[in-house]
Amino acid sequence: MKKNNLAEKIKSLIRDIPDFPKKGIIFKDITTFLNTPVFSEYIDFLADKYKDLDFVCGIESRGFIFGAALAAKIKKGFVPIRKKGKLPFTTVSEKYALEYGFDEIEMHIDSFRNFKNPKVLLIDDLIATGGTAEAAIKLMQKLNANIVAAEFLIELTFLDGAKKIEELGVKVESLIKY
């Protein structure tokens, strides 16, 4: 399926929820897309695009959905990037700024096993300000990943998050832009 046709198909399935999680925000609810066969079409689209990876990294929690499905489809490893304190083994971590304070994400120190400079894709459902994705990329770089791209289903272009990622030398791909 062509990229534009798939984007329009998915866009028609995304539900807008006004004032969630707080007043003035229009939340893009993708659950109405995930529970359709179009989700499989999206994973097939990504699989065609990213055949030559060693690993797929997904950011908690919706990045797990896309990342695990894609990794299974292309028969490669999936690496979860989780909030601090959720992984059971030795980790590396990266802090990032929130509107009020900081948060932290982690990966297992051996996420890429014995690969030297593995080809890795970062994936998540949405990029807004880019803070979490920026921290994830810095984490992956600590483990010597060769980051092929950062892939997002949705990009909120007015928040300029993609620029932060591109400044780190990582290409940003998004199917749907608002």
Give the HSE-up count for residue 172: Cα atoms under 13 Å, Cβ half-sphere: 27
Amino acid at 107: M
Which residue is listed with tokens 């894709």? Answer: 121
Cα 108 to Cα 13, 64, 89, 139: the distances in Å are: 35, 15, 6, 10
82 belongs to the catalytic site: no
In our burial notation (b when 16+ CB lie closer than 10 A, e otherwise), range 134-143 reads bbbbebbbeb
List the catalytic residue out of 8, 41, 60, 62: 62
- Contact of 104 with 95, CB cutoff 8 Å: yes
99 belongs to the catalytic site: yes
List the catalytic residue out of 99, 151, 155, 167: 99
Residues recognised as catalytic: 62, 99
